[in-house]
């Protein structure tokens, strides 16, 4: 693994986490009670430091399920009771097994438990100042129903309590962007050893709140690094899912190209944007200007003739060029002209504001197949494509669809994509040999080798016209400066989101124009450099 990947936060899916647990318990002989105690102590310490030191009389209720997550809860209750806090436990009223049962018995030496759904249990939850969700842990697959659903409904109804999840909020899918019927809505999640993908995808992020990763001394030896087990062994687990990472400022800051002291515009990359059509000149302006803001030395915008003389008035630094007889939109006859332009450019952005015309389809498809320069395809570039054309391309392109565009391309429903963002992106990036950036809150980026990267930056201010054009320009600019397709997509996505955060923080405004991202990018660069 590239050393720089150590600066990312790796996220563990259910199988990976279970295999790490198994390795710790069976291969290394670490006792389960030790790991459970470490997990409980991390939650107890966080509460003590962040809530209880200012509110020592708070009424704390720990909700304990029947599994190991519940065992963590019993241990948390015992540790906090031992520190003198007002602790109550509501449990599932079912028999516990193994280490969870041992911690239940230990707790019974400190206090009693109310079993849900009796009236006392409901009252305790409703009157609590702090609620700890230790009902379900990772790996549940079925929707939560019956008494458990009622339990979580009452948990969520206490709007005044500080609500903290143990490892993952009950009902949030560990691996995907799904809620399993209902989920505990928490302001904080103390997750163990590694982050969990479901906490970094909508709607899971709405239930997870702020995520804190606690080291509980599970040896972080990922399944693919473990010795292969006997294929005939009953306990053998086939772990083949590639890695999933959360982007960090430390990682991205090292990818941003630096200008050498003797740099000039010709040595800093030359991007070609193939954008615009009648009535959509703004897309060409935004994407081209965004590329310049990313640091690229030169940008040439290939636009229909009607836009050529108007674009410099919007983006004075952008050079413009138009093929003959392309007045309002591009068609197949203009593809050779663009190919010649691209042959002496470092990268190409294709699609922003192209429009969807019957003659434009062949234009986009030919360029997608034949352009040899690093290529980003966005917006109407994607709307004029089908997946077979992507698969025919030699070389890795970057594609940046929003969910509806991806739905049209791959034939899956919008609902199916949004509920399975990570697995969908992973599969399609591999099948199409592309870097696939699926837009949305907590953007998902997949590489052809199956790796997944989740971008944590951004806010709802990005939901504005032209925001996607700016993203394309950022990524295209980084491509032209020599970053690989994957690294350009990662850097562009992270900086795009961070620009929005910086701008809205400075202006104290929840809204912005797409062009405000240019100032936001300046602020974001300054933040990373401090």
DSSP secondary structure of 272-338 = EEE---TT-HHHHHHHHHHHHHHT-SEEEEE--HHHHTTHHHH-TT-EEE--TT-SSS--GGGHHHH
pLDDT above 90 for 408: yes
Note the pLDDT of residue 443: 98
Note the pLDDT of residue 11: 95
Note the pLDDT of residue 228: 55
Note the pLDDT of residue 236: 43
270: helix, strand or coil: strand
pLDDT class of 2 with cuts at 50, 70, 90: low
Note the pLDDT of residue 240: 54
* DSSP code, position 359: H
Backbone φ/ψ region at 16: left (φ over 0), alpha (ψ -120 to 50), beta: alpha
Which pLDDT tens digit goes with each residue over 86-135? 999 999 988 789 999 999 999 999 999 999 999 999 999 999 999 999 99
Beta partners for residue 134, in sequence order: 64
CATH 3.10.20.340 fits 7-241, yes or no: no
Note the pLDDT of residue 227: 60
Instruction: Round to whole Å and give the CA distance between 298 and 341.
Output: 13
Note the pLDDT of residue 226: 62
Please state the three-class secondary structure of 77-114 as a single string. HHHHHHCCCEEEEEECCCCCCHHHHHHHHHHCCCCCEE
The ranges assigned to domains in the chain are 7-241, 249-529
pTM of the predicted protein model:
0.94
pLDDT above 50 for 1: no
pLDDT class of 237 with cuts at 50, 70, 90: very low
Q: What is the mean pLDDT of residues 289-309?
A: 95
Which pLDDT tens digit goes with each residue over 417-466? 999 999 999 999 999 999 999 999 999 999 999 999 999 999 999 999 99
**Can you identify the CATH homologous superfamily of domain 249-529?**
Ribokinase (3.40.1190.20)
pLDDT above 90 for 260: no
Q: What is the mean pLDDT of residues 349-372?
A: 96
212: helix, strand or coil: strand
CA–CA distances in Å: residue 303 to residues 61, 141, 280, 285: 63, 51, 10, 10
Which pLDDT tens digit goes with each residue over 32-68? 999 999 999 999 999 999 999 999 999 999 999 999 9
Mention every residue, 6+ apart, whose C-beta is less than 8 A from residue 53. Answer: none
Instruction: Round to whole Å and give the CA distance between 497 and 521.
Output: 9
Note the pLDDT of residue 380: 96
Of the listed ranges 53-67, 187-201, 250-264, 312-326, the one predicted with least confidence? 312-326
- Domains 7-241 and 249-529 agree in fold: no
Q: Are 373 and 398 in contact (CB under 8 A)?
A: no
At 476, give phi and psi (nearest 5°): -60, -40
Note the pLDDT of residue 225: 67
Q: What is the mean pLDDT of residues 166-183?
A: 96
Note the pLDDT of residue 235: 44
Q: How many CA atoms lie within 13 A of 353 on its CB side?
A: 29
């Amino acid at each position: 693994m590239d050393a720089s990947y150590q600066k990312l936060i790796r996220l563990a899916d259910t199988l990976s986490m279970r295999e790490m647990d198994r390795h710790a318990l069976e291969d290394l002989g670490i006792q389960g009670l030790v790991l459970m105690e470490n997990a409980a102590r991390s939650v107890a310490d966080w509460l003590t430091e962040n809530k209880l030191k200012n509110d020592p009389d708070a009424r704390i209720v720990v909700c304990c399920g029947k599994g190991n997550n519940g065992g963590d809860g019993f241990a948390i209750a015992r540790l906090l009771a031992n520190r003198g806090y007002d602790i109550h436990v509501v449990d599932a009223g079912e028999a516990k097994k193994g280490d969870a049962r041992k911690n239940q018995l230990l707790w019974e030496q400190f206090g009693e438990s109310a079993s849900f759904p009796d009236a006392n249990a409901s009252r305790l939850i409703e009157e609590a100042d702090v609620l700890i969700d230790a009902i379900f842990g990772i790996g549940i697959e079925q929707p939560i129903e019956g008494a458990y659903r009622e339990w979580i409904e009452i948990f969520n109804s206490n709007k005044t309590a500080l609500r903290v999840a143990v490892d993952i909020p009950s009902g949030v899918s560990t691996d995907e962007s799904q809620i399993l019927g209902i989920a505990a809505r928490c302001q904080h999640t103390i997750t163990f050893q590694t982050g969990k993908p479901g906490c970094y995808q909508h709607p899971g992020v709405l239930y997870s709140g702020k995520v804190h990763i606690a080291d509980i001394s599970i040896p972080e030896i990922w399944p693919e690094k473990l010795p292969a087990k006997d294929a005939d062994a009953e306990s053998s687990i086939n772990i083949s899912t590639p890695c999933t990472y959360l982007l960090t400022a430390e990682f991205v800051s090292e990818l941003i190209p630096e200008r050498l002291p003797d740099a000039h515009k010709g040595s800093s990359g030359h991007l070609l944007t193939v954008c615009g059509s009648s009535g959509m000149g703004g897309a060409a302006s935004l994407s081209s200007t965004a590329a310049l803001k990313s640091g690229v030395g030169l940008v040439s915008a290939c636009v229909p003739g009607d836009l050529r003389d108007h674009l410099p008035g919007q983006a004075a630094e952008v050079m413009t060029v138009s093929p003959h007889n392309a007045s309002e939109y591009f068609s197949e006859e203009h593809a050779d002209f663009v190919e010649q332009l691209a042959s002496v450019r470092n990268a190409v952005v294709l699609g922003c504001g192209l429009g969807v015309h019957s003659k434009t389809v062949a234009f986009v498809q030919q360029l997608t197949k034949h352009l040899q320069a690093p290529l980003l395809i966005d917006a109407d570039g994607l709307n004029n494509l089908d997946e077979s054309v992507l698969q025919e391309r030699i070389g890795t392109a970057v594609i940046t669809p929003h969910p509806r565009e991806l739905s049209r391309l791959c034939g899956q429903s919008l609902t199916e994509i949004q509920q399975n963002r990570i697995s969908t992106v992973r599969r399609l990036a591999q099948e199409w040999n592309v870097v696939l950036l699926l837009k949305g809150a907590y953007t998902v980026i997949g590489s052809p080798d199956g790796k997944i990267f989740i971008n944590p930056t951004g806010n709802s201010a990005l939901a504005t016209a032209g925001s996607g054009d700016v993203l394309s320009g950022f990524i295209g600019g980084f491509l032209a400066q020599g970053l690989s397709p994957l690294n350009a997509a990662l850097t562009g996505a992270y900086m795009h989101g961070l620009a929005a955060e910086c701008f809205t923080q400075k202006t104290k405004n929840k809204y912005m124009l797409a062009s405000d991202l240019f100032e936001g990018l300046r602020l974001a660069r300054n933040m990373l450099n401090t």
